[in-house]
Structure 1
Amino acid sequence: MHDNDPPSPATADDDPIGRFERLYADAERGEAVVPWDLDRAHSLLGEWTDRTRPDGSGRRAVVVGCGFGRDAEHLARLGFATVAFDISPTAIGAARRRHPDSPVRYETADLLDPPHDWLGGFDFVLESMNVQALPAELRQRAIPAVGRLVAPDGTLLVIAAGRRDDEVVEGPPWPLARAEVDAFAAGPLTPARVEEIVAPDGGLRWRAEFHRA
């Protein structure tokens, strides 16, 4: 893994969305551990913001599948007016309790059916390690759904585990092939930079930046 790269849920069932709420609820009762419960932003996000030094002043950001809020808090510290959402109400409740004085707006929401005013509403959109946790039919819907959140002149940053085109995996998670990463460039989005990163464990990671003209 790439230092603080979190795994996705390790089991699949007939409810690939509901299993996230079950995991967070079990963790709340002390019956499970959320493997991506870390106290710092994802390293590939931190490296990117260190390099690009984005100024969030007067700009809106959204974090897809925010969990307990580690990436959202990072963006808020950069000055972004940040919305962070998750499909799990238990995760959102925990995020609010963990960050009681945070300026981040934590919301329970569904990427595939977001509030209408979120569409095209954010100058910076972060999708980190979420889409890969979905089976193929949901990934095909989720990838363009992420892009629809990006405002004109906005940026989408995608962080994901990767696989080679000829590599077969049994998930979850289902690391993304290059074609799936490229598919984020839908509609008005165009790729600015796609990085193929080899993690210390030898696995492949993607960090891809897209802009909306």
Structure 2
Amino acid sequence: MFEEQPPSVQNRVKSLASEAQAQNQPYAWFEPLYAQANGNTEQVPWAKATAHPYLQAWLPEQPQPPAQSKALVIGCGLGNDAEALQAHGYQVTAFDVSPTAIAWCHQRFPNSAVDYQVADLFHLDFGWNQAFDLVYECRNIQALPIPLRPQVVGAIAPLVAKTGQLLVVTRIRADEQACEGPPWPLSPLELAEFENYGLVEIERATFVEGETITVQQARILYQYP
């Protein structure tokens, strides 16, 4: 999490993000962040040694997916969550906009069955529409400026198969008041944007992290009615 990182890392993230926004390329900062890390995971704020704890807690409660079930990991970072879903029984495709992140995944998991790809969320293969039984979005929406929220949701929701599910892990905020970032926690109205695409929230777990600075978190499961 951002608040667990040294101030130098937090400042670098905010500087890169601000520069990208000024150039009207709001997600162009991910590649330089990974590249400048030079293989040091401590320089990547969201990097963990294992799958995200909220995913780790959720997976054992889920039945084994049917054979050939497909999962998509959005903004996969260093690949831990993708590997956990693959181990659970999914055929996993995982993508990130950062070529360095994807190269890092291949280096970390050289024998992986996960299909790691460099891809842009806003320019995905049309064949991915409604192609995945589980779509997993972990903290990518919150890393993008608030005005992009409708566009981001509009890129994610169509990926879910009509019989599939969407699992979202994100910071949340209680109201629609403006907030500073990155990250920018999601508001109730921003999360409700998924409903415009026919998805229904069926499960939510909320968490509070941090001591000096507390952060509201949520793990939300959506599906079509």
What CA distance in whole angstroms lies between the structure 1 residues aligned with 2:26 and 2:39? 21
What CA distance in whole angstroms lies between the structure 2 residues aligned with 1:109 and 1:200? 33
Question: 2:14: which partner in 1?
Answer: 10
TM-score, length-normalised on structure 1? 0.89
Question: 1:206: which partner in 2?
Answer: 218
1:1-213 aligned within 5 A: 9-11=13-15, 12-13=18-19, 14=22, 15-28=25-38, 33-55=43-65, 57-165=67-175, 168-201=178-211, 202-213=214-225
Cα distance change of structure 1 residues 38 and 140 upon mapping to structure 2, 3 Å threshold: same
Residue pair 1:190, 1:212 contacting (<8 A) in 2 also: yes
| Residue ranges of structure 2 left out of the alignment (5+ in a row) | none
Instruction: Give the CA deviation at 1:157.
Output: 0.3
Instruction: Give the CA deviation at 1:199.
Output: 2.5
Identify the structure with the greater helix proportion.
Answer: 2
Cα distance change of structure 1 residues 166 and 137 upon mapping to structure 2, 3 Å threshold: closer
Q: How many equivalent residue pairs?
A: 210
Letter in 2 for 1:69: G
Instruction: Give the CA deviation at 1:196.
Output: 2.8
SS in 1 for 2:57: helix
What CA distance in whole angstroms lies between the structure 1 residues aligned with 2:73 and 2:97? 12
Residue pair 1:185, 1:210 contacting (<8 A) in 2 also: no
Cα distance change of structure 1 residues 185 and 88 upon mapping to structure 2, 3 Å threshold: same
Residue pair 1:135, 1:172 contacting (<8 A) in 2 also: yes
Instruction: Give the CA deviation at 1:200.
Output: 4.7
- After TM superposition, the structure 1 stretch with the greater mean CA deviation from structure 2, 15-24 or 163-172, is 163-172
What CA distance in whole angstroms lies between the structure 2 residues aligned with 1:56 and 1:95? 26
SS in 2 for 1:197: strand
Structure of higher RCO (CA pairs closer than 8 Å, 6+ residues apart): 1
Residue pair 1:152, 1:212 contacting (<8 A) in 2 also: yes
What CA distance in whole angstroms lies between the structure 2 residues aligned with 1:149 and 1:166? 27
Cα distance change of structure 1 residues 169 and 108 upon mapping to structure 2, 3 Å threshold: same
Residue pair 1:124, 1:155 contacting (<8 A) in 2 also: yes
Instruction: Give the CA deviation at 1:50.
Output: 2.1
| Residue ranges of structure 1 left out of the alignment (5+ in a row) | none
- After TM superposition, the structure 1 stretch with the greater mean CA deviation from structure 2, 42-51 or 52-61, is 52-61
Instruction: Give the CA deviation at 1:134.
Output: 0.5
SS in 2 for 1:18: coil
What CA distance in whole angstroms lies between the structure 1 residues aligned with 2:124 and 2:50? 27
Task: State the percentage of identical aligned residues.
Answer: 36
What CA distance in whole angstroms lies between the structure 2 residues aligned with 1:167 and 1:41? 32
